[in-house]
Chain A
Amino acid sequence: MRKSSLFFLYITIQTILLGCMFTHASYKQKSDVNRLQENISLVQQLGLTDLCLFTEASYTRHLSLADFHTAFQDSPMALEHFPSGSLVPHPPAAKKMYENMD
């Protein structure tokens, strides 16, 4: 077999696998609807506000409800302590103030 034929065969297999990747993603999106719906109901029932991604610090566990001075948790001179604190940006709710409060 010619080397170019082998190369095209390899690329064709990879492209088919890439197509399978998109098909799998689309199939999983449909099959996960029930799981997502269950989670949405739980969020609604418990009134949850945040995803449980980083549990090490309160201000990364509930990012949207973090204090105004999240970056200086314990004192104005406190350096960032937790690894996740350096991965997440400042929550928009803590940055924005309403006009009359500025």
Chain B
Amino acid sequence: MYPIPRLPRKCMRTWIERHRNILDFTLSSLVRRKRKNAALVSVYTLIVFLLGSVLFFTYALRQEASFLLKEAPEMIVQKLSAGRHDLIPVSYIERIRAIKGISSIKERLWGYYYDPIVGANYTLMVVEDPEVSPGFIAVGEGVSRTRLASPGDAIEFRTSQGITIELEIKKVLSSASSLVSSDLVLISEDDFRKLFGTAKGFATDLAVKVRNPRELTTIALKVAEILPDTRQILREEILRTYDAIFSWRGGILLATLFGAVLAFIIFAWDKASGLSMEEKREIGILKAIGWETSDIIRMKFWEGIVVSLSSFLMGILLAYIHVFFTSFMLFEPVLKGWATLYPAFKITPFIDGAQVASLFFLTVVPYTVATIIPSWRAAIVDPDSVMR
């Protein structure tokens, strides 16, 4: 075995010292043009902050959705009428139960109620809970916050007959569950039917469970055959819905990323397209006093690293604070839209290391390369002509 050749320690120290000297000079040069460079670092940090915020938020929400919705009903059967969702007859349960492999079918009664007092939409859902007996309801944190109502208070609802009924709040669902329950009003079956005038024998939709999840698609096909006026929504499709919203092709990500990426391209293009007269003159002087082309490239490399690395680190840290400590505060209006009732939720910080690494390579590397190329072009020209 031959020993691996090593760089002599003295040589290594000289190499480090040489780079430190170049870095010292680069930093002094950057400080000389502090206004311009401060603006550059601020814009760069802002772009990384925007990209990082959106990536952190969408990834964390996608993870949370996949955790929560893996317990959603395996299959929902809806009745369609003239292309619209319609109430489903409870008699359909027996026809579906006849299919082999079905383990249970449950009718679900739920609907929307528009509260004109606060201008918010609630999701009313029937639940089998001893606490939610006729005359009583349980509400989500968002409903309680919007109506300024707490347990013991009553909320009035206007029935389909135009009669006002008052239902007393028995409990408020925990704020930790806001992401799934913020606008929920859990109600008894009697009150629900009274409120919406839903006839006995009809439900909103059916939740189906099967014995073997691998047979789900086959069973869905059989349901479609037996009941052609129905639509089957599988859990896998529910999960895919949320995956699609928060994937890079989803509207949220695309809308924000488009602007930020475009800004970054303009930014890097400006750098790559050429140097200012002042920078060219500086390179000419350095060449005239004996700097080599390689030293100038080293200097520009460090300049790129100083600007891009410090902006990247600052931007990514601010993005993390923005998403996980302030609950996406700056982008909240985008998500709220016209909704009066908006869930105030904190998401678990699921971070994808690969995403942070990609952001690093997509921002730091192109910028550094874009800084070096024009400097190399300026450095190989005769110093005399550059200075003129």
Q: Is B270 an interface residue (CB 8 A)?
A: no
CB pair A49 B338 closer than 8 Å: no
A24-B127 in contact given A40-B68, A86-B251 (Cβ < 8 Å)? no
A55 touches B339 (CB 8 A): yes
User: How many Å lie between the Cα of A48 and that of B388 in the bound state?
Assistant: 73
B152-160, B164-172, B349-357 - the one binding chain A: B349-357
Size bin of chain A's contact surface: 35 or more
Among B300-319, those with CB < 8 Å from A are 306, 309-310, 313-314, 316-317
Interface string of A60-72 (1 = CB under 8 A from B): 0111110111000
- Measured between beta carbons, the chain B residues less than 8 angstroms from A29 are 348-350
Per the CB 8 Å criterion, the residue count for chain B at the interface is 90
Q: Is the CB of B335 within 8 A of A14?
A: no
C-alpha gap A65/B86 in the complex (Å): 12
Given A67-B85, A100-B221, are A56 and B339 neighbors across the interface (CB < 8 Å)? Answer: yes
Contact with B224, one of A7, A65, A101 (Cβ below 8 angstroms): A101
B238 and A88 contact, CB distance less than 8 A: no
Task: Fill in one digit per residue for B205-241: 1 if any A CB lies within 8 Å of its CB, else 0.
Answer: 1010000000000001100110010011110011011
- The answer on a CB contact under 8 Å between A3 and B350 is no
Question: Given the known A-B contacts A49-B72, A52-B343, are A64 and B241 also in contact in the complex, defined by CB atoms under 8 Å?
Answer: yes
Total inter-chain residue pairs, C-beta < 8 Å: 213
B71 at interface, CB cutoff 8 A: yes
Q: Which residues of A contact B316 (CB under 8 A)?
A: 18, 21
Interfacial residues of chain A within 1-53, with CB under 8 A of chain B in the complex = 2-4, 6-7, 10-11, 14-15, 17-18, 21-22, 24-25, 28-29, 32, 35-36, 38-53
Chain B residue with minimal CB distance to A81? B338
Cβ-based interface call for B259 (8 A): no
Smallest CB separation, A62 vs chain B (Å): 8
- CB-CB under 8 A from A68, the residues of chain B are 80, 83, 231
Q: Top 10 A-B pairs ranked by shortest CB distance?
A: A83-B337, A14-B313, A93-B237, A56-B339, A25-B349, A3-B27, A87-B251, A64-B238, A4-B23, A44-B71
Given contacts A29-B349, A29-B350, A39-B179, 6 further A-B contacts (CB under 8 A): A48-B72, A51-B61, A65-B205, A67-B84, A88-B252, A98-B220
